[in-house]
Amino acid sequence: MARLFGTDGVRGVANEELTAELALDLAVAAAHILGEAGAFGERRPFALVGRDPRASGEFLEAAVVAGLASAGVDVIRLGVVPTPAVAFLVNSMSADLGVMISASHNPMPDNGIKFFQRGGVKLDDYLEDAIEARVGEGWKRPIGGAVGRITSDKGAVEAYVAHLVSSLGEPMSLQGLKVVIDCANGAASATAPKAFAAQGATVIAIHADPDGLNINDNAGSTHMGTLVQRVLDEGADLGIALDGDADRCLAVDAQGNIVDGDQILAILAIALKEDHRLISDTVVVTVMSNLGMINAMREHGIKVDQTKVGDRYVLESMNANGFALGGEQSGHVIISEFANTGDGTLTGLHLAARIVATGVPLQGLASVMTVLPQVVINVRGVDKLRAGIDTGVQAAVSAASQRLGDTGRVLLRPSGTEPVVRVMVEAPTDELAAEIAQSLADKVLERLAL
């Protein structure tokens, strides 16, 4: 049986792979496991449940809430909120459990379920394994007054927005800045423009009208063409691209150039180091981060700690070592002083604040690193679980790595969120990167085709 949990919760096509029955069973198992782990104490436990605007989130939310309440957990429904809002509110409201129903940047037919434990942190692998092992098991059901109660508290989200605004310290610190925000017709369609406007920015919000069907539809951080054009048309200082659940942020400078997560991390790392707030002068990234970012950090006296792909692994390293900043090329950026998960709006606010503080436009700030040409090919229709053990594939990877030497690198890995094998190649030129990546993708398809 395939593992339910990937690198970021449980995902699948809603009502096909991710059904109401599975959502209910997951919620019950999570209540039992976290209860046994002692998270609830003596009082009745309570959980927060949020979702992004997908139509399927409505029935999945109902199933999750029913599962938690049937297991004796009181539930506060937050409605449509960003993933980082759930994480923040679980911590600030001392909730015992948080659930976010979202498939992040995935297309609308998909959905997912992410769990947060007390403190607003994602579950460790062993807790996910324990929950998965108990999905669908028999259990003694509470009755009468022991069942959970269900309420709603959309006002709690205002506390999250206030937290975002206050993280910049100075009020109206973005005054004079014109920002285009692409909300991906997602969970931050209301909160992100509100936070930027509260700090004095002139805000132009696009793709901020979710209807349950248009989330991530040619919008947001995975489809940035519209944002690029709007920034140019408006003469804006920058553009901010969020994804469906607003836990990631990419940017566009005033000239229409895309600024990715590596560049954002580099800008923020240097800013934190200048303020003597970059703990151990270290930034945490994943193995997918561009070699140019790592080289730039070395030139600025900043160490780089690399982890497996997934913001949860970045966070594990940050928590274990007390580091202040970490993230992924995809735009998941964790600023530990203010959040314990990736927060696209928070990241965008601090990036904008750096522009104002330095007087340097985003293009100038991003030039701190030279992006090495990078090609990523997603190979579909293959057995991704064999990617790391097939001798033919591994031999091809080794040969490509030897060919590049110190001038680039090769990474081949199964996706934790999609049924694909990702082939990533960095090289001195686009042509060489594309050539090697395509050769490796062809080999993966030849050896691992289903």
- Show the 3-state SS of the chain: CCCCEECCEEEEEECCCECHHHHHHHHHHHHHHHHHCCCCCCCCCEEEEEECCCCHHHHHHHHHHHHHHHCCCEEEEEEECCHHHHHHHHHHCCCCEEEEECCCCCCCCEEEEEEEECCCEECCHHHHHHHHHHCCCCCCCCCHHHCCCEEECCCHHHHHHHHHHHCCCCCCCCCCCEEEEECCCCCCCCHHHHHHHHCCCEEEEECCCCCCCCCCCCCHHHCCHHHHHHHHHHCCCEEEEECCCCCCEEEEECCCCEECHHHHHHHHHHHHHHCCCCHHHEEEEECCCCHHHHHHHHHCCCEEEEECCCHHHHHHHHHHHCCCEEECCCCCEEECCCCCCCCHHHHHHHHHHHHHHHCCCHHHHHCCCCCCCEEEEEEECECHHHCCCCHHHHHHHHHHHHHHHHHCEEEEEECCCCCEEEEEEECCCHHHHHHHHHHHHHHHHHHHEC
Note if 415 is an active site residue: no
Catalytic residue, from 102, 104, 189, 317: name it: 104
Give pLDDT tens digits for 60-102.
999 999 999 999 999 999 999 999 999 999 999 999 999 999 9
| Predicted TM-score (pTM) of this structure | 0.90
Per-residue pLDDT band for 417 (boundaries 50, 70, 90) equals: low
Please tell me which residue, 138 or 1, carries the higher pLDDT value.
138
Instruction: Identify the pLDDT of residue 7.
Output: 75
Instruction: Identify the pLDDT of residue 276.
Output: 97
**Which domains are present in the chain?**
5-154 (3.40.120.10), 160-366 (3.40.120.10), 374-448 (3.30.310.50)
pLDDT greater than 90 at residue 165: yes
Per-residue pLDDT band for 42 (boundaries 50, 70, 90) equals: low
Instruction: Identify the pLDDT of residue 36.
Output: 61
Q: What percent of the chain has pLDDT over 90?
A: 87
Instruction: Identify the pLDDT of residue 311.
Output: 83
